[in-house]
Structure 1
Amino acid sequence: MIVLVVLGALLVLALLALVHWYLWRRLVRDVSAPGGRWRRAGTVLAVVLPVLSIGALVGGRAFPMAVERWFAWPGFLWLPVLLYLLLALGVGELLRPLLLRLPARRGAGPAAAVPGAVAATAVAEEAPAAVETVPAVEVDAPSARTAPSPERRLFVARAVALGATGAAAAVVGNGAYGVLRGPRLKQVTVPLAKLPARAHGYRIAVVSDIHLGPILGRAHTQRIVDTINAAKPDLITVVGDLVDGTVAELGRNAEPLAQLRARDGAYFVTGNHEYFSGAAPWVDFVRELGVHPLQNARVELGGFDLAGVNDLAGEREGDGPDFGKALGDRDPARTAVLLSHQPVTVHDAVRHGVDLQLSGHTHGGQLWPGNLIAELANPTVAGLERYGDTQLYVTRGAGAWGPPVRVGAPSDITIVTLASLQV
């Protein structure tokens, strides 16, 4: 087992080195003179940036939070830049042959496009007709015209490098702004057959994947709390992955949760990242903040039952989801709304007669085309879908794990409005 882990790590490092060598070649070597400032600076960055990214990825287990922050910002931000640089350069590789074959600018004439053509033409004009050498020039000229000059190659290399860098910077910059600005409200209406008429229009705020950590802190929590409170929901649900760190490191950053206000209160279930960070202390801490943990438990609210199960990651600690405990003895005539961090548990929800499951976990893929990978592991990546008699709603989450960047998967806090069919 250890041998396989070591081999896997070496393979990843080799792939990372190969990718950065390619970037160095296209963005540094091909566009700069040997020994120049950009060549030296680019070479240093090609070594330092992947080291920072590795430090950011392993920092949570190797360093205290104060040290981890120094790696997290540059290391995590470089990862999406790397992704979109590779995608943009891939497009550039397709365009490069076309750019190299573009005709010379107007007015230059064929003589200017082919070095030595002027001299050859002059010789041809002075030579007698009997010994005219024009045919020889005509044989060589086409190959000379189709071979790009060194100046053209350098121009195209710089154009592709500049275009790829600009595109990657714009995409990542916009994606980072979306995360740091805070999530926006999303409205979803869910019709439920058993919901009584008196509960028609009941509004549940669903927030997940806040991911407090070395980058997203107290100000991020405050923005989320202010957004939820401004919506005036009847109920607030925090569906896992609140933190990436211990209570000692991040407790202060989570304190604004105590300001959450809703008629029927706020409830919390664990996500997989709580188990990476120490789930039991966090459950106790959010309870102190006035947010009620639902650990394989259920409460009866006006018009429906609200149940919550622990995350699947808790199974390694003997603290996994227990659907029987949360749902087994309830009145099946009542509507059941289940909080479960991972969408994949919807199949258990169907077996236990749940009407609506609220989940997070996927981030909607977070970084396109990550949604395509997320679809392989989750029944629903984002939005509302039906599985038998159970409806599943998956929020994209309010934060971001790793890079504070989202592309094609904007963060959200969802207001789920329950609609009765008996109205």
Structure 2
Amino acid sequence: MSSALFVALVLPVLAGAHFYVWWRMVRATTSPRSWWRRAGTVLIVLLALLLVAAPPAERALPAPLATAVGWPGFTWMAGILYLTLALLAGEAVRPVLMRVRRRHFAGDTVSGDGGERLYGTGSVPGPDSPAPASADGLPASRRMFVSRVVAVAAGTAAGAAVGYGAYTALGPPRVRRLVVPLTRLGPEAHGFRIALISDIHLNVLVGRSRTRQLVDLLNGTEPDLVALVGDLVEDADVAVQGRAAEPLANLRAPHGVYYVTGNHEFYSGAEQWVRFVRELGLRPLRNERIALPGFDLAGIEDASGVDHDDGPDYEAALGGRDRNRAVVLLAHQPAQVTEAARYGVDLQLSGHTHGGQLWPFTRLASLVEPHVAGLSRYRDTLLYVSRGTGFWGPPVRLDADPDITVVELVSPRA
């Protein structure tokens, strides 16, 4: 996203969300000129600044400083989302709580001696009289009580969502198993297992230990072939994140380990990462195809490569092949299936979407991307989209568990 577009579209939304959270969590729950109000205001402003600073800091600052800024900044991206949603939900509850408190307040204003009211008679309040009522009939102290109840509930809900989401994102991915029959698959490839991994997103928050964990999981599935379908890294040079990727050299599969670029490789400099993974023993497939027993395996560049004069070339990867053989295509973005179907691809394996990564985007993503996660069909082409193993931005996944998928190919002729 360009800087101008970020300032024009994203910053106003972020500013509005932070002001709303401050209004409901700080101003409405604290007394004027209190220490709590000053501290809460400073905290909200600091978190807002860290959120905006975290993405550029990832590239501009030395690793220790980038990590120090990144953890609170990126985590707060999820925090402000869920706190805003929880407070908005609280707006529906607030009038109910107000009515309940108003009933209690009305009962409290009647004395036990003949039912004479203590206020509202036009007399001057004495030292023991209730606090002045606001326009809605509740004293300020009781309005503050309701605001505090809503704020505590919203904070608890948001904290639980972020905490569980971080536990999910940073924990080991789930290993899924999928059986896919392909009509043209040769009998010699019956039972062929492809371990699919995508969107590792090595960054200032996760590194070498995460890669080792993923390699152990992949090797543990005992695949015939490993396919890494893009976004190995999140906007970083090999000099910065190369060491974190080195454990990929330990991947083992009888028919090899293959790699195609994702959009974030092009944001980082795709050529350097292609050279690096090749040195690690991975085989990049850059608009090309190879023959394996019983089927062809093809790989194309990510669609974002067009902006770098290095985009997908479907004719080079899929043209002129034997149409009696099945072909499995590795392509980072699910949307590339539209061209893949024109070339008669049997199965496309993709990533990119993270399954939406964060609720409610996991439910809304299908409005703009029909293939968000799992197995689907586009015309005569099967498409499987992995939710990936990493995260973009906040180290949080909610309603979109990370996954590694073992795709087992089945031949009807076996």
- TM-score normalised according to structure 1 size: 0.89
d(CA) in 2 for partners of 1:214, 1:96: 40
Larger radius of gyration: 1
The aligned residue for residue 128 of structure 1 is none
The aligned residue for residue 218 of structure 1 is 208
- One-letter amino acid of the structure 1 residue matched with residue 204 of structure 2: P
Picking from 62, 79, 84, the partner of 2:82 is 84
d(CA) in 2 for partners of 1:287, 1:26: 53
d(CA) in 1 for partners of 2:64, 2:316: 40
Q: Secondary structure at the match of 1:185?
A: strand
* Paired residues for 1:253-332 under 5 Å: 253-332=244-323
Deviations 1:201-235 (A, max 9, x none): 11110000000011111111111101111111111
Query: Are 1:336 and 2:334 matched, yes or no?
Result: no
- One-letter amino acid of the structure 1 residue matched with residue 379 of structure 2: G
CA contact (8 A) 1:235 1:263 kept: yes
d(CA) in 2 for partners of 1:68, 1:294: 32
Shift in alpha-carbon separation, 1:74–1:8, aligned structure 2, 3 A: closer
d(CA) in 2 for partners of 1:201, 1:159: 57
The aligned residue for residue 74 of structure 1 is 72
CA contact (8 A) 1:270 1:341 kept: yes
- One-letter amino acid of the structure 2 residue matched with residue 301 of structure 1: L
CA contact (8 A) 1:305 1:335 kept: yes
The aligned residue for residue 124 of structure 2 is none
CA contact (8 A) 1:384 1:394 kept: yes
Shift in alpha-carbon separation, 1:238–1:377, aligned structure 2, 3 A: same
d(CA) in 1 for partners of 2:335, 2:5: 31
The aligned residue for residue 219 of structure 2 is 229
- One-letter amino acid of the structure 2 residue matched with residue 412 of structure 1: D
Instruction: Pick which of 229-238 and 66-75 moved more.
Output: 66-75
Structure having the larger proportion of residues in helix = 1
* Paired residues for 1:30-109 under 5 Å: 30-102=28-100
The aligned residue for residue 385 of structure 1 is 376
Please report how far the alpha carbon of residue 16 of structure 1 lies from its aligned counterpart in structure 2 after TM superposition.
2.2
CA contact (8 A) 2:58 2:67 kept: no
Percent identity between the two aligned chains: 52
CA contact (8 A) 1:205 1:233 kept: yes
- One-letter amino acid of the structure 2 residue matched with residue 194 of structure 1: R
Shift in alpha-carbon separation, 1:180–1:111, aligned structure 2, 3 A: closer
d(CA) in 2 for partners of 1:35, 1:302: 75
The aligned residue for residue 121 of structure 1 is 115
Please report how far the alpha carbon of residue 72 of structure 1 lies from its aligned counterpart in structure 2 after TM superposition.
1.1
Please report how far the alpha carbon of residue 184 of structure 1 lies from its aligned counterpart in structure 2 after TM superposition.
1.3
d(CA) in 2 for partners of 1:293, 1:247: 16
Please report how far the alpha carbon of residue 411 of structure 1 lies from its aligned counterpart in structure 2 after TM superposition.
0.5
Please report how far the alpha carbon of residue 31 of structure 1 lies from its aligned counterpart in structure 2 after TM superposition.
1.2
* Paired residues for 1:154-169 under 5 Å: 154-169=144-159
d(CA) in 1 for partners of 2:367, 2:269: 28
The aligned residue for residue 138 of structure 1 is none
Please report how far the alpha carbon of residue 283 of structure 1 lies from its aligned counterpart in structure 2 after TM superposition.
0.5
CA contact (8 A) 1:304 1:334 kept: yes
d(CA) in 2 for partners of 1:365, 1:102: 39
d(CA) in 1 for partners of 2:294, 2:5: 55
Please report how far the alpha carbon of residue 80 of structure 1 lies from its aligned counterpart in structure 2 after TM superposition.
0.5
CA contact (8 A) 1:195 1:419 kept: yes
Picking from 243, 247, 254, the partner of 2:233 is 243
d(CA) in 2 for partners of 1:319, 1:191: 33
The aligned residue for residue 139 of structure 1 is none
Picking from 402, 406, 410, the partner of 1:419 is 410
Please report how far the alpha carbon of residue 286 of structure 1 lies from its aligned counterpart in structure 2 after TM superposition.
0.5
- One-letter amino acid of the structure 1 residue matched with residue 23 of structure 2: R
d(CA) in 2 for partners of 1:210, 1:49: 26
Query: Are 1:369 and 2:360 matched, yes or no?
Result: yes
d(CA) in 1 for partners of 2:269, 2:289: 23
d(CA) in 2 for partners of 1:278, 1:111: 68
Q: Secondary structure at the match of 1:236?
A: strand
Q: Secondary structure at the match of 1:101?
A: helix
The aligned residue for residue 25 of structure 1 is 23
Coordinate RMSD, CA, aligned: 2.4
- One-letter amino acid of the structure 1 residue matched with residue 370 of structure 2: P
Shift in alpha-carbon separation, 1:17–1:120, aligned structure 2, 3 A: farther
Shift in alpha-carbon separation, 1:48–1:373, aligned structure 2, 3 A: same
d(CA) in 2 for partners of 1:14, 1:266: 45
